Structure 1
């Protein structure tokens, strides 16, 4: 923790003098688990329309996202030193560190297609002309990706899942970018905003349904860590409309474990909720989905020796599941405590596309390094 604080001071100093610093780790820091989780922070309050999303204001960020004007969000893999530096993210981080700055709540949505796999087109609520000209196609499935705390808007989570889906087939892949507030070292402050961002995401998908004829049954939400909690909040606020599937990739545990299911991801947030839980420190041990998969028993992952490694492993496994020739398969367990009681006669697929609804808790064995998938040895259902 002392090293982390010193690093932050270095970031502030270097930013003032050079306006360029080293990018932070894109994952949650497991050191937050040392805090007291008993105290619950207040969440956004509902207004008369049962919608807190009106607190949000969409605005064009003041950064240049791309080198040319046609591109609203550039997710190409950078080369050289730029692979390790996300200047827009660092600006947001420093802005949130400043006591004199209070960034407005905002969430941006960027569409990626096979025709423009790296150059996202921003979808702005209320701008019908740009929506119709964006290339959004109501006849193909829509997949919305929601990153977590301290994730870079151009980070590997967004890029890897987007690329995997576009490799898989023809999809509307939409990245929900809330990094203006996710880039805040005060995790507990960010937690207070989850309901608000969930409401904004719900309002956005309703806009797509009304103006672009996108069917809720064609929408999957894929969220990692706090992004999974945002997906759950959006599912609750979309009622009576229901998303087809939510993939909750190691949903954030700190400050959520003791909340009621009204304020955290749970099986009612979509027609089908599948959780992949890989870290006991940053995630959950208790099941959170209709189907909850526990790779390697879900506490820690094989050969994970650095902070956040087990947490990150959830989305890496999911990315692999989309195009793996082997796939991930688990066995259903009756209980996980005091001892795992599992039936190894049948195996069930974890992740993948499309989702296959199932229920229960499942143990999954994996390799210690990529490729993680081991395939199946018995029978799939």
Structure 2
């Protein structure tokens, strides 16, 4: 029974990540001008949402109905394949963009890469769509009922609070960011901006949080502030949050001009550290409007921007973008084990340990999936 619960939990997590993949900036950028592939990806989204709608009912019925358990196993394998495909599209598109940034020769090779990649993707999409279509038809035979279609979840707000279960595998990344900050060419008019770019769930926010709470930041800066920007890039809201977070006091100013004056007065001759987390807006003019208030008065400003978009990174960076890679399987396992078991150890549960190891193998080095996949096993 425990294996069934864990299987349902990891499938739920993977469906949610697959939904995010379909809606991610990397995938959307890749699909521009590729109507046939775009149509297939949209069909994939519909098939996944159709399966998601009956997932709760299936998870309950699998305990007493072996046929439903077999159906869930087939769906799980298909979702893994679909997620791997979407992950491949997102990651390769992002990687090629970053390589193209540094050399014109790579830019010339992108069209060749895309042409061969398109062919392989179409073939793989067709295979997975045929497979999901067959699985979808089986759900009607099994009389699985719709309970709740979760769809694409709303984006949670992030904070600077340290990770409850600790951080694994990011010490080298943290030190690399600090090295970038120390570079003599890092600043533009006293402002240093380092974008952290990576896939959804890879740990950009976690890395930014790790740096934000490092004693070197606490001891070296007069003020620091954390802003969860997300999809609503409202300059007034962002600036007001920066002021409130930096001063640890509420601000009742409702006028942009007065707010900018207050920020300049507060930050005059000070060292400031900022994190702008989860940025989605690619409008360069909005960034200029936001940053101009910091160009006068402050002694030094260091800014970390986390985003999935290389375009955003190019707009804001004063040093080369930091591309955050996935964790190793071993690092993902340590994180999974810490989340899943009450004492942080799986030694007393060899069966669940083996199941957990199999789950981690499917997480693709993405710590967010590892954490979500502990649902159902976390009671042990």
Structure 1 or 2, whichever has the larger Rg, is 2
Task: Looking at secondary structure, tell me which structure has more helix per residue.
Answer: 2
> If the length of structure 2 is used for normalisation, what is the TM-score?
0.29
Task: Looking at secondary structure, tell me which structure has more strand per residue.
Answer: 1
Higher relative contact order (CA 8 A, sep 6+): 2
